[in-house]
Amino acid sequence: MVKVYTSSVIDAPADRVWAHIRDFNGLPSWVPAVADSRIEGGVPADKVGCIRNFNLKDGGNLREQLLALSDYDYSVTYNILVSPMGVQNYVATLKLTPITDGDGTFAEWTAEFDCEPGREQELSDDIGNGVFQAAFDNLKRQLGGG
């Protein structure tokens, strides 16, 4: 089992950051690598169990299922059903915590998965830096902080 953990500080209140992250169908608006997204079966994007089907700008297609969504804890958990990355048993959680000292947000993204031996480091970097940190950087730009 490989574990990836990426965290950042976003200079905007947690409510505003959550407004972006909460939309399970909203990846194209804040994750740079994502080209488009739709929810399968036309169910609401905050219905736990719904599946988002999205395409990357480089052509890959993914299907991810919403496992948990908490407006109380500002957290979302999902797994990957289909992806071109070569990962199995992939479960990720993105969680926000308010920073009361200055009204910012502490954002944490964790993922756990299995993969072929020897690919652990490459996949950890791709996911931790290429996806998670890039998405945080994009959020910071959009929300006017750092």
10 Å CB burial of residue 52 (0-12, 13-18, 19+) is buried
Give 133's contacts (C-beta < 8 A, 6+ positions apart). 6, 8
Beta carbon nearer to other proteins, 26 or 98: 98
Return the closest-CA partner of residue 24 out of 62, 103, 126, 110. Answer: 62
As a dihedral over the C-alpha atoms of residue 70, residue 141, residue 37, residue 130, rounded to 10 degrees, the angle is -90
Taking CB under 8 A as the binding criterion, the range among 53-61, 67-75, 92-100, 112-120 that sits at the site for other proteins is 92-100
- Pick one of 108, 112, 120, 126: the residue that binds other proteins (CB under 8 A): 108
Compare residues 83 and 133 and give the one whose CB is closer to other proteins: 133
The footprint of other proteins on residues 112-131 (CB under 8 A) is 128
Task: Return the residue of 124, 136, 139, 143 that touches other proteins, per CB under 8 A.
Answer: 136
> Does 134 contact other proteins by CB under 8 A?
no
Q: Are strands 2-10 and 61-70 parallel, antiparallel or unpaired?
A: unpaired
Instruction: Report the alpha-carbon distance of residue 20 to residue 97 in Å, rounded.
Output: 15
Stretch that binds other proteins, among 24-32, 33-41, 55-63, 97-105 (CB under 8 A): 97-105
102 near other proteins, judged by CB under 8 A: yes
Which residues contact other proteins (rule: CB under 8 A)? 5-9, 97-102, 104, 106, 108, 128, 133, 136
